Amino acid sequence: MEPSALLTFLFLPAAVAVINLFLPVRAAKALTLLTLLYLLYCAITLWPSASLGSSSVYLGVDRLAAFVLLFAQILSTVILLFSLKGVRRDIERFFFVLFPLTVAFCNGVLLSRHALLFLIFWGLSGVSLYLFALLGKDAEASAAAKKTFIIIGGSDVFLILGLVLLIGSRPVDLWWLDKLNLRPEAPLYWLAFVSLLIASLAKAGGFPLHTWVPDFSKSSPIESVALLPASLDKLLGIFLLARMMTSLFVVGLTVKMIVVSIGAFTIISAVMMALSQHNGRRMLGYHAVSQVGYMIMGVGSGNPLAFAGGLFHMINHTIYKSNLFLSLGSVEKQTGSSEFDDLGGLAKSMPLTFIMALVGALAISGIPPFNGFFSKWMIYQGLLETAKTLPVGYQLWMLICLILAIFGSALTLASFVKFLHAVFLGRNPGTHKVREAPINQWLATGILAILCAIFGLFAVALPLKKLIVPVMVDLGMPEAMQFIGFFHPLLLLGLFAVVFGLGILLYFLVRTVRYDDVYLGGQPADPRFRITGSDFYREVREMPVLNKIFAAADKKYCDVYEMGSKGTFAFSGWLQKLHPGLLPLYILYIFLGLLILGLVINIGG
């Protein structure tokens, strides 16, 4: 692969962003769409020839990068298709400048071989996230933007520290990121590993640095939510984690287990929070966190099968989660709200959007034949295989993580029952006049829904064999193939179909369904007593132990950001007490400084 061809991925979208500043909005949309389609074509042609062999010092692309690059282009093209109609008028111009710029930065991260370039693009992609957050309309948008960028920008400094520790001893012109394999005996191995882990967790939205995701999802333009936290940031964060686990560090068993535990904890804590939300965006935001847990578990475990499953789950998640966000976006644009209380009964008026969202909801809940099922399955099986080879204590540890993950999956299904009911099912007289979303929007969600189905039905033939196996071979883990030989999605599907068929049979055998009007105390039901869905699972919040945890979560005790800012302001307040504006005190400080210097000199000199 010619390095100059890689430059297209950076300079073309960046140039388009600059041109869009001056074009009429309509032309800017067309130009951006054409550019992204061209980049998609480039990414497809790049895939077969991706190798580090002939790359330059600065840019290079291996299988993993080419794989992620491909999906970054697919997702951004589809999301752009959605954005062609419906972006708020007052931000439209800036939106279509920022969009291609974001794509350029993301491509930059993926193609950088030089650590410095990687750092710069990583930071820039955080800046574009911040600028998108500032475009939000509601009252919390500015606070969400602040929180997002403090976490994302703050984790960038740890990335700097980590990378410099990793390769800082070499001269700056040799700062390649491939095949470093830092060994645990190396000095400051831990600091470097933790720093990079912080960066990747913050970007992907893993515990405990996930708290920006729900806030950003709540307030920012929905297109940007689908683009960044749901798609590109997941790709980048997990891409970095995959690099860490394969080529940057040699990772021991305990570290792997810690990473897996972080994943399991992310799954369960975020899905519990998701259950109790009553805003669609926030709920999907928490799920965007929860799903990252699976990827972290898969990629972090180091088992080839689970690793492949983690990568597969990463792309599956970007597909179904952006589908869900965009469907919710369609709903929000048609009804003006994303609060569960205001929605309901939209399946009739927005049937296409409903079908797309349904597919997304089934995929994220791990229902076959959709893609989410297969990637989760691979991760579970990989982790089980790993558990077999572990010492007893570790075995137990791994099993606990696994159980948490499976339980999390069940809770995901539960919370999407709530989502579907609250938004599309149930009754809401207020939403009868709502119209179906414009064609570009359901086309975009439709493409994603079809991808969900294809990546499920033909999981082995298409994504696994054509994309993920080559990546795994390139990463030096060809063993993942063995499992895939035994893996028959159609067989599994058949089993599920039989069970499903039995269920339907049972329904028809014993059905006693009566359709009736709803009454309350003999009177026609007041719309106030409508079952909106926002109170589903409220009892979860009242369970004995969980109520304490939820109460703590409501007080933001689990939020690193909130706790950090509290501590910071407390210390700051204490320091300010030492600066009361009293001149004699200040002179005393100077004297003290002089005294200490004198002491140091007498001892040291």
Partner 1 sequence: MILPYFVLLPLLAAFLIALLAGKKDDWAIALSFMATLSILALSVFGFITMREQTFTYAMSGWNIPIGICLVQDALSLFMLFMISLIALTSLCFSVQYIRHLAQDWKYYALFMLLLTGMNGVVVTGDLFNLYVFMEIALIAAFALVAYGCRAEEYEASFKYAIMGGFSSSVILIAIALTYSSTSTLTLAGIAQALPGLDQRLVMWIAALFLVGFGLKAAAIPFHTWLPDAHSSAPAPISSMLSGVLIKALGIYVLIRLFYNVFNAPPLFMNLLLIIGSVSIMLGVFLAIGQWDLKRLLAYHSISQIGYILLGLGLATPLGILGAVFHLFNHAIFKSLLFYGAGAVEMVLGTRNLKKMGKLAHLLPITAGTNMVASLSISGIPPFNGFFSKLILIIAAIQAGHPVYAFWAILGSLLTLASFMKVQRYGFYGEVEHQKPNIMPGKLIHAAMLILAVICLLSSLFIVPGIREHTLDPVVDVINNKIHYIELVYGRAL
Least CB distance to partner 1 at residue 278 (A): 24
Of the two residues 161 and 244, which places its CB atom closer to partner 1 in the complex?
161
Q: Which residue number, 187 or 485, has a Cβ lying nearer to partner 1?
A: 187
Distance in Å, CB of 100 to partner 1, minimum = 17
* Dist CA 428 CA 418 (whole Å): 15
| Residue number, 194 or 492, with CB nearest to partner 1 | 194
Instruction: Report the nearest approach of partner 1 to the CB of residue 10 (Å).
Output: 13
Helix (H) or strand (E) holding 479: none
| 463, 97 Cβ separation under 8 angstroms | no
69 burial (CB, 10 Å; 0-12 / 13-18 / 19+) is buried
- 198 vs 452, which CB is nearer to partner 1? 198
Closest CA to 67 of 285, 310, 337: 310
Question: In terms of C-beta density within 10 A (0-12 exposed, 13-18 middle, 19 or more buried), how is residue 38 classed?
Answer: middle
Q: In 238-328, at which residue ranges do the beta strands (DSSP E only) sit? A: none
Structure tokens at 390: 């572990």
CB of 604 to partner 1, least distance (A): 5
Angle at 263 between CA 260 and CA 268, to 5 degrees: 130
> What is the C-alpha separation between 359 and 445, in angstroms, rounded?
10
State how far the Cα of 527 lies from the Cα of 119, in Å rounded to an integer: 54
Count Cα neighbours of 256 within 13 Å in the Cβ-side half-sphere.
Answer: 23
Instruction: Indicate the residue among 462 and 599 with the shorter CB distance to partner 1.
Output: 599
Q: CA neighbours within 13 Å on the CB side: how many for 319?
A: 30
Comparing CB distances to partner 1, the nearer of 124 and 387 is 124
Nearest distance from C-beta of residue 249 to partner 1, angstroms: 17
Nearest approach, Cβ of residue 159 and partner 1 (Å): 10
Structure tokens at 203: 């970007």
Task: Give whichever of 499 and 590 is closer to partner 1, judged by the CB atom.
Answer: 590
Is there a contact between 102 and 227 (Cβ–Cβ < 8 Å)? Answer: yes
Burial class (CB in 10 A: 0-12, 13-18, 19+), 598: exposed
For partner 1, the closer of residues 509 and 590 by Cβ is 590
Least Å distance, CB 242 to partner 1, is 23
Q: Which is nearer to partner 1, 156 or 233 (CB)?
A: 156
Whose Cβ is closer to partner 1: residue 3's or residue 123's? 123
Nearest-angstrom CA–CA distance, 209 and 352: 36
Q: DSSP string covering 532-552, please? A: -STTTTGGGGGSHHHHHHHHH
Place of tokens 């359901």: 442
Place of tokens 């009754």: 427
Q: Which residues pair with 358 in a beta bridge?
A: none
Shortest distance (Å) from residue 162 CB to partner 1: 10
Q: What is 40-54 written as a DSSP string? A: HHHHHHHGGG--STT
Residue type, 270: A
Nearer to partner 1, 143 or 552 (CB): 143
Based on CB atoms, which residue is closest to partner 1, 120 or 443?
A: 120
Q: How far is the CB of 123 from partner 1 (least distance, A)?
A: 4
* Residue number with CB closer to partner 1 (143 or 506): 143
Enter the tokens of residue 275. Answer: 């259950």
Interface ranges with partner 1 (CB under 8 A)? 116, 119-120, 123-124, 126-127, 134, 139, 141-143, 145-146, 149-150, 153-154, 156-158, 160-161, 164-165, 168-169, 172, 188, 191, 565, 568-569, 571-573, 575-576, 579, 581, 583, 586-587, 589-590, 592-594, 597-598, 600-601, 604-605
User: What Å distances lie between residue 194 and 162, 166, 246, CA to CA?
Assistant: 8, 11, 16
CB of 413 to partner 1, least distance (A): 37
Q: Is the peptide bond before 544 cis (omega within 30 degrees of 0)?
A: no
Shortest gap between Cβ of 136 and partner 1 (angstroms)? Answer: 10
User: Least distance (Å) from partner 1 to the CB of residue 86?
Assistant: 23
Q: Tell me which residue of 257, 255, 213, 216 sits closest to 237, measured CA to CA.
A: 213
Contact in structure between 61 and 6 (CB atoms under 8 Å): yes
Supply the minimum distance, in Å, between the C-beta of residue 402 and partner 1.
35
- Write the DSSP assignment of 398-454 as a string of letters: HHHHHHHHHHHHHHHHHHHHHHHHHHTSS--GGGTTPPPPPHHHHHHHHHHHHHHHH
Looking at this protein, which amino acid is placed at residue 181? N
Q: Considering the complex, what minimum distance in angstroms separates the CB of residue 291 from partner 1? A: 27
Nearer to partner 1, 17 or 401 (CB): 17
